[in-house]
Amino acid sequence: MTFKPHITVAALVRRKDRYLIVEEIYDGRKVYNQPAGHVEAGETVVEACAREALEESCWRVRPSHLIGVYVYKAPNGVTYYRFGLAAEALEETGHTLDEDIVAVHWLTLKEMQALHNRGELRSPLVLKLIEDDLAGQAYPLNLIHEGSNG
């Protein structure tokens, strides 16, 4: 069996005490997540983060720093390498939401913890990203070297 890791990004967007969260249908059930998704061919992690936020939430964002890189083996056997980036909300656009997105919310930490306790988060990484941000984890984006010349 060939190992094919999935490289993903997640945008942690916070305004005051609320986080930008998408409600989506995944594997036939409603779950909550940061705007997140796969890095596409030819794009950087930072570009993927901004694109996913726009597609999933209609918000144009500016990634500011790396919170962490997370490895998660999902129940379906897929291993995800997730780059969690903090991002600033710039503006809400009229962009059409991805078809799997049900709604966009601005939720508090307490609301996120309640969703976690009810098993309604897409993965444990959703709350972990928030906790790491609150703990002060912040690394410059240039830590992610994506140059083509080594």
Of the candidates 134, 47, 121, which has an alpha carbon nearest to the alpha carbon of residue 83?
Answer: 47
Residue 116 in any domain: the answer is yes
DSSP reduced 3-state for 56:
helix
Share of the chain above pLDDT 70, in %: 97
Query: Quick one: average pLDDT of 69-74?
Result: 92
Residue 79 in any domain: the answer is yes
**Please, what sign has the CA dihedral across residues 3, 66, 104, 122?**
positive
Residue 149 in any domain: the answer is no
Of the candidates 9, 11, 8, 7, which has an alpha carbon nearest to the alpha carbon of residue 86?
Answer: 11
Residue 1 in any domain: the answer is no
Which two tokens mark 111? Answer: 């609301």
Residue 137 in any domain: the answer is yes
pLDDT, tens only, 79-106: 999 999 999 999 999 888 998 999 999 9
| Number of domains forming the structure of the chain | 1
* Domain residue limits at 39: 6-143
**How many angstroms separate the CA atoms of 84 and 135, rounded?**
14
Residue 149 above 80 pLDDT?
A: no
Query: Quick one: average pLDDT of 70-74?
Result: 91
Residue 41 in any domain: the answer is yes
Q: Return the higher-pLDDT residue of 89 and 2.
A: 89
pLDDT at 88: 98
Residue 95 in any domain: the answer is yes
pLDDT at 1: 59
Write down the mean pLDDT value for the chain.
93
State the pairing for strand pair 101-108/36-38: unpaired
Residue 59 in any domain: the answer is yes
pLDDT, tens only, 114-132: 999 999 999 999 999 999 9
Torsion of CA 117, 123, 126, 127, to 10 degrees: 30
Can you name the residues that pair with 60 across neighbouring β-strands? 91
**How many angstroms separate the CA atoms of 84 and 78, rounded?**
18
pLDDT, tens only, 37-55: 999 999 999 999 999 999 9
Of the candidates 33, 45, 54, 39, which has an alpha carbon nearest to the alpha carbon of residue 129?
Answer: 33
Please report, for the domain that includes residue 136, its CATH number: 3.90.79.10
